[in-house]
Structure 1
Amino acid sequence: MIKIYYSFKACTLFSLILLCSVTAFSQTNLSREKAAAIAVAELKSQMELQKAKSTIDWAAKQITYKNYTLKFTTQIFGDKPADGRSLYISLHGGGGTTAAENDQQWENQKRLYKLKEGVYFVPRSPANTWNMWHDYPMDQLISEVVKGEIVMDNVNPDKVYVMGYSAGGDGVFQLAPRLADYWAAAAMMAGHPGDAQILNLKNIPFDAFVGGKDAAYHRNELVAQWGLRMDSLAKVYPGSFIHETHVYPDMPHWMNRKDTIAVPWLASFTRNALPKDVIWIQDDILRDQFYWLGTPIESAKQGLKVHVAVTGNTINIIENQDEVLYLYLNDDLLNLDKKVSVTINGKKVFNKNVPRNAEVIKQSIAARLDKSLIFSGKLIIKNGQVSTL
C-alpha cells in the first residue's frame, strides 16, 4: 500500500488552484441561462452607476466629456409606454458662425417639432464650427446622451431617433450612417451630405427633406441625388435602405414646417439592433464597434469596408478589409448551443461551438447599457483564421 500525505498548506494551495480553475471555466463556458442571469445582474449594476452620474448631469442640463460641454433641454410628451419612452435627438442649425447665432438656432430648435410620445432632446453644440455635429467628440457625447436617457427617463434604446435642420441636417447626414446601430430611424432637413457613408444606412430608415430653391452649397441638387442613390440601393438590397426623399419645388431653405411630417414617420419604426446583413465603412471619426461587428481602434482606418451576413448558424464574411475583425455574438443573432460556422469568400474556415463568456457580457453592457446589444460570445478573424476569445 502506498500512502500519500499532503500538508495542510499544500492542500489549501491545491484547493485554491482547483477553485480558481473551476471559476474561470464557469465564466467562459456559460449555459444560456447562466449568461442571461449574469446579464441581468450586470445591467442592473451598470445602470445604477450611470444613474449616479447622470443625475448630476441632468440636474445641470449639461454633459461634459474631456474639455467639451454639451448643454441640452428636454421635453417629455405623452404617457410612458410599457416598453419605455422614445427619444428624439434634435440638432440645431447655425454652424461656423457666432456663438450668439448658434444660441438663437438652439432656441428655435426647441420649438420646431412636437411629439405624440417621447423625450424631445435638444442639445446645444459644444462648438461653433461648420462640422459641429459630426466632429470629435460627438460620438462619445451621443453615447452619453443615450445612456443618460435610458436611466433618467426610461428610454427604450430600440426607439432612439436623430433629426436635424440645416447644419443639424449636415450632422444627421454624417451621424446617421456612422452611428447607425444607435438609431431606429433618421430624418435630415435642409442639410448637405458631404462625404457621408451611404452604405452604412442599410438597416435604418432615412427620411430627407429639402427646398427646391435651397441652392446654397447645392443642397437641393445633392439631396435629390442622394435620394436617387437610395432608390438604387433599395433595388440592389430588397427590404433594406428604407427611405423617403422630399424635394419641395417652391420652398427655400426654410420649408415652412412641411418637414414636420418626419416625426410620425420616424415613430413608425423601431431599431433592428441585430441585422442579419451588415455593411460597415469606417468614417473619418473611427469606431471600434458597429452593430455586432468590431475591430481594434488602433488598426482601424478611414474607408475600410466590411460586409458580413448571417444565414441560420453560418456567418458569411463577404468582404473584410480590416486587419482584425471581431464578431460579437448572442443567442438572438444565432444559436450558441450549436456549432457556429464561418465562411470567408465562400470557404468554410470555422465550425465549432462558441463559448459564452462573462467578460464579453460585462464589456458590452458597460459600453452601451443597451439591452438589445448584450453579447456573450466573440470570434476573432485575423489572417484568414478564426479563433474564440
Structure 2
Amino acid sequence: MLLCLYGSKHSVQTRLVKSLFISLHGGGNVEPHINDSQWENQKDLYTIEEGVYLAPRAPGNTWDLWHRPEIDHMFDRIIENMVIFEGVNPNKVYLTGYSAGGDGVYKLAPRTADRWAAANANAGHPNDASPLGLRNTPFTIHIGANDVSYNRNKAGQEWADKLAKLHNEDSNGYIHLVKIYDEMGHDLYRKEKDALNWMAQYTRNPIPDRVVWVQDSVTHDRFFWLELPENQIRQYTKVIATRDGQNFDIQTKDYKNVTILLNDTMVDMDSPVKITMEEKVLFEGIVRRTIGAIARSLKRHGDPYLIFTGEVTVCTES
C-alpha cells in the first residue's frame, strides 16, 4: 500500500485530537503510470489548517479504483493505524476525492458512513450509489456545469435534488452543500478546496438517534449501532432504526434478525430497554454487559467510540 502522509505545522502529539483527511486521486482504467501521475498530483492538491492529510495510491488500475470490495477494509485499517500512530480523533475523519476519486466518495461514503465525520465528491459520478446512508454524514458535491462526460453534471444535480428532498423530510439529517460551477468543465481549478473547511466544521456522532442503513454492491454486517447476521445480508436491502432514551424501533422488510449494539453512553445499561417494530414489542429487559461484546467491537474497528458493551438480537418476524 503506497501512501503520502503529512501533518499541518500546527499538529500536536496529544492523543486523539487531530483531524484526518483522506484524499482520493483520479485516473481509472488506464496505464499504471497515468494513475501514478494522478496520485502525485493529489499529494499536493490541498493544504489543511490542522491535522493529517493522507493521499493513498489506489491498489489497482481499474475503472472502479476506489469502490472495489477491498477498499472498505483498507480504509478501516488506515483509520485504525492513524488513530494509534498519529493521534487522530476517529470522530474527525474526512473523505474527499477528485474525478475517479469523486466516484469513489459517492460509493464509499453512504455504505461506510459510520467511519466519516463528513465527505466530499469532486468532479465525480455516483454510478448506482444511493444517498440514503448519508443520514448522519454531511456531504458536499462540487461539479462543473459543463462537465458533460458520463453526464457528471446531470448526476451531480440529481444528487443535489435527492439530498434536498431527504433533508426536507428529515430536518435533523442529510446535511449537504452542492456547488455547481458555471462555465467550468472537469477541471475546477481548485475552487473545490473550500470543501475541506466546510467538512472540518463537522464531528462524527458515532451513536446517532436514527440510522438508515442501505446495503450497496459491497455489503457490511455492522453500521453504527446495528448489526446483521452474515448469512442474511444481501445487496440493496435496508434497515432503519431509531432510538429515544431506552426505547428503540426497527423498520425493515428485508431481515429476519437485527442486532442492537449498546453501551453506557447510549442508554442506562442497568435499566430495561425496549425494542419495537410496528408497535410490536420484540424485546424488553436489561441487556448485560459482556466481555464478548467489547472484544467484538475492538476487533471490528479498534475505534474507541464504537465500543459496545452489550448486544441484543431480535426476530422481526411474527
TM-score when normalising by structure 2 = 0.97
Partner of 1:74: 5
TM-aligned CA deviation for residue 81 of structure 1: 7.5
**What are the Cα deviations for residues 53-75 of structure 1, in whole angstroms up to 9, with x where unaligned?**
xxxxxxxxxxxxxxxxx211101
How many corresponding residue pairs?
316
Partner of 1:241: 174
| Amino acid aligned to 2:288 | P
**What are the Cα deviations for residues 150-170 of structure 1, in whole angstroms up to 9, with x where unaligned?**
111011100000000000000
* Structure 2 residue corresponding to 1:158, chosen from 91, 99, 104: 91
**What are the Cα deviations for residues 252-298 of structure 1, in whole angstroms up to 9, with x where unaligned?**
10101100001111110110111110010111111010001111223
Partner of 1:131: 64
| Amino acid aligned to 2:12 | K
CA contact (8 A) 2:17 2:88 kept: yes
TM-aligned CA deviation for residue 344 of structure 1: 1.0
* Structure 2 residue corresponding to 1:365, chosen from 295, 298, 304: 298
| Amino acid aligned to 2:283 | F
Partner of 2:154: 221
Partner of 1:278: 211
| Amino acid aligned to 1:354 | V
Once the two structures are overlaid, the 10-residue window that deviates more, 207-216 or 312-321, is 312-321
SS at match of 1:356: coil
CA contact (8 A) 1:93 1:165 kept: yes
CA contact (8 A) 1:80 1:117 kept: no
**What are the Cα deviations for residues 89-133 of structure 1, in whole angstroms up to 9, with x where unaligned?**
000000111101000000000010100001100000001011110
* Structure 2 residue corresponding to 1:167, chosen from 100, 110, 120: 100
Query: How far apart in 1 are the matches of 2:240 and 2:107?
Result: 20
| Amino acid aligned to 2:11 | D
Partner of 2:282: 349
Pairwise CA RMSD: 1.2
SS at match of 1:137: helix
Partner of 1:121: 54
CA contact (8 A) 2:282 2:315 kept: no
TM-aligned CA deviation for residue 383 of structure 1: 4.7
Q: 1:167 to 1:215 in 2, by over 3 A?
A: same
TM-aligned CA deviation for residue 384 of structure 1: 3.5
Partner of 1:192: 125
Which is richer in helix?
1
Query: How far apart in 2 are the matches of 1:380 and 1:181?
Result: 20
CA contact (8 A) 1:286 1:297 kept: no
CA contact (8 A) 1:344 1:384 kept: no
**What are the Cα deviations for residues 318-356 of structure 1, in whole angstroms up to 9, with x where unaligned?**
335223211111111122111000111112232111111
TM-score when normalising by structure 1 = 0.79
TM-aligned CA deviation for residue 88 of structure 1: 0.5
The yes-or-no answer on 1:290 pairing with 2:223 is yes
SS at match of 1:159: strand
Partner of 1:15: none
The unaligned stretches of length 5 or more in structure 1 are: 1-69
SS at match of 2:151: helix
* Structure 2 residue corresponding to 1:379, chosen from 300, 312, 315: 312
Identical pairs, percent = 38
Once the two structures are overlaid, the 10-residue window that deviates more, 179-188 or 311-320, is 311-320
Q: 1:81 to 1:205 in 2, by over 3 A?
A: farther
Query: How far apart in 2 are the matches of 1:90 and 1:244?
Result: 18
**What are the Cα deviations for residues 236-258 of structure 1, in whole angstroms up to 9, with x where unaligned?**
00121000000001111010110
| Amino acid aligned to 2:131 | I
Query: How far apart in 1 are the matches of 2:68 and 2:147?
Result: 24
CA contact (8 A) 2:25 2:38 kept: yes
CA contact (8 A) 1:307 1:320 kept: no
CA contact (8 A) 2:283 2:314 kept: no
CA contact (8 A) 2:298 2:307 kept: yes
TM-aligned CA deviation for residue 310 of structure 1: 0.4
Counterparts of 1:23-38 in structure 2, within 5 Å, are none
